[in-house]
Amino acid sequence: MKLIITGGAGFIGSAVVRRAMAATTWDIVNVDKLTYAGCLDNVASVSNNPRYTFEKIDICDAKAVQDLIIRHKPQAILHLAAESHVDRSIDGPRAFIETNIVGTYNLLETARAYWSDLSAGDKQTFRFQHISTDEVFGSLGPTGYFTESSHYQPNSPYSASKAASDHLVRAWFETYGMPVLTTNCSNNYGPFHFPEKLIPLVILNALDLKPLPIYGRGDNVRDWLFVEDHAHALLEVLAKGVPGETYNIGGSSERTNLEVVQTICRTLDELRPRQDGRPYNELISFVADRPGHDKRYAIDASKIRRDLGWSPKESFESGLRKTVEWYLTNQEWCRNVQGSYRRERLGLKG
Q: Which domain holds residue 98?
A: 2-189+226-251+297-313
Q: How many domains does the chain have?
A: 1
Please state the separation of Cα 209 from the chain's center in Å: 28
328 within some domain: no
35 within some domain: yes
Q: How far apart are CA 82 and CA 32, in angstroms?
A: 10
> Does residue 208 carry a catalytic annotation?
no
87 within some domain: yes
pLDDT for position 339: 74
Query: For residue range 115-146, what is the model confidence (pLDDT) as tens digits?
Result: 999 999 999 999 999 999 999 999 999 999 99
Is the pLDDT assigned to residue 346 strictly greater than 70? no
Confidence of residue 57 (pLDDT cuts 50, 70, 90): very high
What's the rounded mean pLDDT across residues 7-14? 98
pLDDT for position 347: 58
Catalytic residue, candidates 32, 58, 87, 135: 135
- Residue 266's Cβ-side half-sphere holds a number of Cα atoms within 13 Å equal to 9
Percent pLDDT > 90 in the chain is: 91
Residue 185: which CATH number?
3.40.50.720
243 within some domain: yes
Query: For residue range 202-211, what is the model confidence (pLDDT) as tens digits?
Result: 999 999 999 9
Q: How far apart are CA 61 and CA 46, in angstroms?
A: 27
Confidence of residue 216 (pLDDT cuts 50, 70, 90): very high
Catalytic residue, candidates 134, 223, 228, 294: 134
Is the pLDDT assigned to residue 293 strictly greater than 60? yes
Catalytic residue, candidates 158, 215, 247, 280: 158
Q: How far apart are CA 216 and CA 238, in angstroms?
A: 39
206 within some domain: no
Is the pLDDT assigned to residue 349 strictly greater than 60? no
Percent pLDDT > 70 in the chain is: 97
> Does residue 158 carry a catalytic annotation?
yes
> Does residue 300 carry a catalytic annotation?
no
76 within some domain: yes
Q: How far apart are CA 108 and CA 317, in angstroms?
A: 38
